[in-house]
Amino acid sequence: MWYDGGMVTLSIPQGLIKEGFVVLPRREYEDLLHAKRGDDIVVKRDKSFKVPKKHEKFYNGLDGELTESLREIKAGNFVGPFDNVKDLLISLHLKNENHLRS
């Protein structure tokens, strides 16, 4: 086998392999850390996800709506989960009454 100067050899402890081991490019790792902290949540489809030009507006809007939803969840602006439809309807009814009083 022939190796050029660009190859790197790693020794990986057996314990890491048993628990799971992932190799990521630094930029992707930093993006994951950034997302975990919740700093400025932004949903943007990957460049590899190609869409026809006529659908770009739809997918850009979807990315924006997902971003807004995740920010609301992080801020605690949500209701539920509910065990049944009755509880959902009661919650929606109470929320509507509170909104009308405001």
Tokens in use for 99? 């909104």
Average pLDDT of span 83-91: 91
Q: How far apart are CA 60 and CA 51, in angstroms?
A: 11
Q: Is the pLDDT of residue 93 over 70?
A: yes
Q: How far apart are CA 41 and CA 59, in angstroms?
A: 17
Q: Is the pLDDT of residue 16 over 80?
A: no
Q: Model's pTM, two decimal places?
A: 0.48
Burial 50-78 (b: 16+ CB within 10 A, else e): eeeeeeeeeeeeeeeeeeeeeeeeeeeee
Number of helices followed by number of strands (H, E) in the chain: 4, 0
Q: Is the pLDDT of residue 4 over 70?
A: no
Percentage of the chain beyond pLDDT 70 is 80
More confident of the two residues 10 and 48? 48
Domain ranges of the chain: 22-101
Mean pLDDT of the chain: 80
Q: Is the pLDDT of residue 86 over 90?
A: yes
